[in-house]
């Protein structure tokens, strides 16, 4: 075994130990956090049963407001721990041949209601001659879903359009998500893949780093282009093994 192979193996073992350590720590935090939240719910129920004519009504109302705040913070911390576990976990993925168009079509059908509620129009341009790729369906869908949510949240309130396009690219395929949101300046764009960096209130800052880990585990790459007032484009490239046949799903016409 070469020295480079030994170093790669050592790094992999070190990462696995680190992932196991932080994963165990996160689980240890999650358990008492769940207990705290449960007890806050029980306390809130007790205060809701208080006699409205009680002389301590105002005090009870203030106490319940504080309890509700603790419950909200528990929910936020539980979500943060879940995102952190997803990021730190060493995935054991099973890559199987499949159609990228089929996965994207099904995901967009599921997501279309959320987009419509936010006033966002989804336009699909899915190349029917796209070659097959190897995917771990569950993790890949979670990565793309996170990107779709980010795009829609960027346009929420003002509305806009989200173009989802697939096409062959080099020795692989390209998935592009192009939104008409406000875009990002160069400083923000340079930080989007940094762990715990977020511009969203209540966000964990782990969505994009986790998505990049998943895409890279597929042998692919992910790039983001953006500018203020010009929207954002996320481009995911996946390799298409040469021995996989070209998939021929039913032709998909652009829909609006």
Q: For 25-34, what is each residue's pLDDT tens digit?
A: 666 777 777 7
Q: For 58-91, what is each residue's pLDDT tens digit?
A: 777 777 788 888 877 777 777 666 666 666 554 5
Helix/strand/coil (H/E/C) assignment for every residue in 51-100 = CCCCCCHHHHHHHHHHHHHHHHHHHHHHHHHHHHHHHHCCCCCCCEEECH
Highest mean pLDDT among 41-45, 201-205, 211-215, 222-226: 222-226
Q: For 97-139, what is each residue's pLDDT tens digit?
A: 989 999 999 999 989 888 998 899 999 999 998 999 999 888 8
Q: Which CATH class is domain 96-239?
A: alpha beta
Question: pTM of the prediction?
Answer: 0.64
CB atoms within 10 A of CB 186: 9
């Amino acid at each position: 075994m070469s020295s480079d192979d030994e170093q790669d193996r050592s790094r992999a073992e070190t990462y696995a130990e680190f992932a196991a350590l932080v994963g165990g720590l996160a689980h240890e935090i999650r358990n008492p956090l769940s207990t705290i939240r449960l007890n806050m719910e029980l306390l809130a129920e007790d205060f809701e049963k208080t006699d409205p004519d009680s002389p301590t009504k105002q005090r009870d109302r203030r106490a319940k407001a504080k309890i509700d705040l603790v419950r909200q913070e528990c929910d936020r911390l539980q979500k943060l721990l879940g995102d952190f576990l997803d990021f730190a976990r060493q995935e054991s993925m099973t890559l199987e041949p499949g159609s990228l168009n089929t996965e994207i079509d099904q995901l967009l059908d599921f997501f279309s209601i959320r987009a419509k509620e936010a006033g966002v129009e989804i336009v699909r341009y899915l190349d029917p001659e796209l070659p097959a790729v190897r995917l771990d369906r569950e993790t890949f869908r979670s990565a793309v879903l996170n990107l779709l949510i980010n795009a829609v949240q960027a346009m929420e309130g003002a509305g806009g359009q989200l173009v989802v396009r697939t096409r062959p690219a080099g020795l692989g395929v390209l998935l592009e998500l192009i939104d008409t949101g406000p875009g990002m300046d160069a400083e923000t764009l340079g930080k989007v893949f940094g762990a715990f960096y977020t511009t969203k209130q209540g966000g964990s800052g782990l969505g994009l780093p986790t998505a990049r880990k998943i895409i890279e585990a597929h042998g692919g790459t992910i790039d983001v282009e953006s500018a203020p007032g010009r929207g954002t484009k996320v481009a995911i490239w996946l390799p298409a093994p040469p021995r996989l046949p070209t998939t021929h799903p039913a032709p998909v016409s652009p829909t609006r």
